A and B are shown apart, each in its own frame.
Chain A
Amino acid sequence: MSQLALKVKLGKLESLTDNPTHYCAGCEHGTLTRLIASAMDEMGIREKTVMVDSVGCSVLAYNYLNCDHIVAAHGRAPAVATGLKRVKPELTVFTVQGDGDAASIGLLELIYAAKRATPITVFLVNNAIYGMTGGQMAPTTLEGQVTTTTPFGRDAALTGTELDVSKLLAGIDGAAYVKRASLVVQELSSQRGKVYTIKNLLDAKKSVENAFKVQALGGFAFVELLSTCSINWKMPILDAKRFVNDRMMKKYPLGVYRDTFGVEKQ
């Protein structure tokens, strides 16, 4: 573990503000914010980075990440990012979207940003639910999963099966980097009792950095990050982490779906 721990920069990051986050206990949005800030610091790109904040739990990121921000309308972040990046190609432009934002109301904007090989970076937080609006069904909600708009469990016959956004983007030639990672710690059984591993988190960190690298190389980069929403799932935090590791990961296997520039191997 000590070797792994060394890779995470501790202490104050220049790319993070001092504001406390509004995220619920157990939520991984704050983790992603930290990973992004850490990548911005390490790559020295903070002063030329513009974040396009999307509508959802990520919308208040302008309070936390110490860079320029544009707050887009629901689903439109990739379009806004495209507009800025195309007129200011020297900037690093990225967005953090939720699954409702990116996979439902903004699916067209996401697909076309990828189709055009737009050199931007999109992080998609997949927590299988609309978080900020209070726990409604998302395109990523698992079959049978209870949400406020599927109170008897998601009915696939009516609402279809889960939308796998990484798989969808993997079929688009313009996407240079498509990866699914997880922000959730994993429980391991051991003879000495429960232990937790942050192996997936460290891989998520690498994915965040790679996604910025791919943009610098001129490509469209997309990283889907599995995450919990214990509040809206109405589960204790640890049960929510188990839900991601045991249930969501089966439906949404982690891995590299496209890597045109081979950044994963570097």
Chain B
Amino acid sequence: MSKQRVYLKGNEALAYGALEAGLNAYFAYPITPSSEIPETLAKEFGSKKYPEYKFFLQAASELEAINMVLGAAAGGVRAMTATSSPGFSLKQEGLSYAACMELPFLIADICRAGPGLGNLGPEQSDYFQATKGGGHGDYRLFVLAPASVQEMALFPRIGFDLAFKYRNPVLILGDAFTGQLKEDVEFPEFTPPKYDVSSWATTGAKGRAPHILNSLELDYQKHYKHVGKIFEKYKQAEASEVRFEEYLTEDAEKVIVAFGIVARIAKGVVNKLRAKGVKVGLFRPMTLWPFPKVPLRKLASQGTQFLDVELNTGQMYQDVKLAVGDGVTVDFLGKWGGVVPTEAEIESKLRRLEMVVA
């Protein structure tokens, strides 16, 4: 795809973004509101535009799809799957194994309302499952949170890069809104970097010792060391892979903290209030893990008050509170069930922020 602007749905942009990022294999399972991702990738399979895109298969279940991704990633290729919340629960098994086996791949969760079947509206209620591990055992996923169709298009590049650099699964956490929204996007020229997988990929033990990709370690001391080693990687990532956007925060007395589609709405509120001379700003985490703790704490040290807005009952809120520490005002506005806050609701909550006890 060239630099020209194209008019795409978020899910379609994510699919093309993955292709532009050098996707080799995609394993699908349909679930609303994420299905345009596999549909786009099924359509483009075999296209001469993407010679590196070698395989597409619709699996029989979410579990089968994630385990196929795991097998393909073991071969050292760029593999991916996508799902939505109920399916994301089923992916946790594979993600836990892959994190322990240090396998790089990309997964997208186009979050819908839950719990259970919920509905097809947007929510950010998979935040805990996305950022705290989600499956059994101690591990983390890198979590990227796009707030526009343009970011849906570009985040796969960052995603594959992080996955191979750290040998860990990377999650793109969208929502029904960012997935279904249609906007103009651009795909700047990009040559996918080459990654050396020769020290671990299972490609046949020719002229070398066997490679064993395994999460089983019956020796407790060895397993203690292995998980410790993975968390050393995470520590390094927390120091160097944090991404966030600050919008008019420099002199802001009140700052909205929001990610994904909510940050788009919040930006509207900031613009409106700034026009009236009110000193407000927006802090938008682009990586939900690693979470931008340090920049948030820095803002808090300037005496800023915060309003955290999310499409859930207050999940990222806990991370924001932890980041800013005691004695800092952090209020919360949440909507769930597929309901989205209006600019007026955010504005009214923001105006009452000084009445909130820190």
Contacts and interface: CB of A to CB of B under 8 A. Distances in A.
Contacts of A67: 204-205, 210
Contacts of A124: none
Contacts, number: 127
B75 A69 contact: no
Interface string B45-82: 00000000011010111011101111111110101000
Interface in A56-76: 59, 62, 66-73, 76
Interface stretch (A31-39, A80-88, A171-179): A80-88
A71 B214 contact: yes
A72 B203 contact: no
B68 A82 contact: yes
Q: Which of B71, B77, B101, B210 has the most CB of A within 10 A?
A: B71
A52 interface: yes
Nearest to B56: A86
Nearest to B77: A87
Nearest to A69: B212
B146 to A, nearest CB: 26
A91 B206 CA distance: 11
Contact of B64 (A50, A62, A91, A108): A108
Contact of A73 (B65, B67, B74, B202): B67
B25 A87 contact: yes
A79 B213 contact: no
Contacts of B59: 79, 112
B27 A83 contact: yes
Contacts of B129: none
A120 to B, nearest CB: 10
Interface string B184-205: 0000000000000000001111
Interface string A24-64: 00000000000000000000001111101100000100100
B214 A69 contact: yes
A2 B50 CA distance: 58
A50 B77 contact: no
Contact of A47 (B25, B71, B206): B206
Interface string A185-222: 00000000000000000000000000000000000000
B210 A68 contact: yes
B318 to A, nearest CB: 30
Contacts of B69: 83
B19 to A, nearest CB: 16
Contacts of B73: 83
A90 B134 CA distance: 35
Contacts of A164: none
B133 to A, nearest CB: 16
Nearest to B207: A47
A109 interface: yes
B67 A72 contact: yes
Contacts of B65: 79
A108 B64 CA distance: 8
Contacts of B67: 72-73, 76, 79-80, 83, 109
B274 to A, nearest CB: 50
B93 to A, nearest CB: 6
B202 A46 contact: no
Given A69-B213, A72-B67, A81-B71, A87 B205 contact: no
A260 B61 CA distance: 28
B277 to A, nearest CB: 57
**Which residue of A68, A76, A83 has the most chain B CB atoms within 10 A of its CB atom?**
A83
Contacts of B203: 50, 68, 88, 91
A87 B78 CA distance: 10
B260 to A, nearest CB: 30
Contacts of B71: 52, 70, 72, 79-85
A112 B77 CA distance: 23
Contacts of A53: 214
Nearest to B200: A68
B97 interface: yes
30 contacts: A50-B203, A52-B71, A62-B210, A62-B214, A67-B204, A67-B205, A69-B214, A70-B70, A70-B101, A70-B202, A71-B216, A72-B97, A76-B93, A79-B59, A79-B65, A79-B68, A82-B57, A83-B67, A83-B68, A83-B70, A83-B79, A84-B72, A84-B74, A86-B68, A87-B25, A88-B77, A108-B64, A109-B67, A112-B59, A116-B57
Rank and list the top 3 A-B pairs by shortest CB-CB distance, nearest first. Answer: A83-B71, A83-B68, A79-B67
Given A76-B70, A87-B75, 7 more contacts: A50-B204, A53-B214, A66-B205, A68-B205, A72-B67, A72-B97, A79-B63
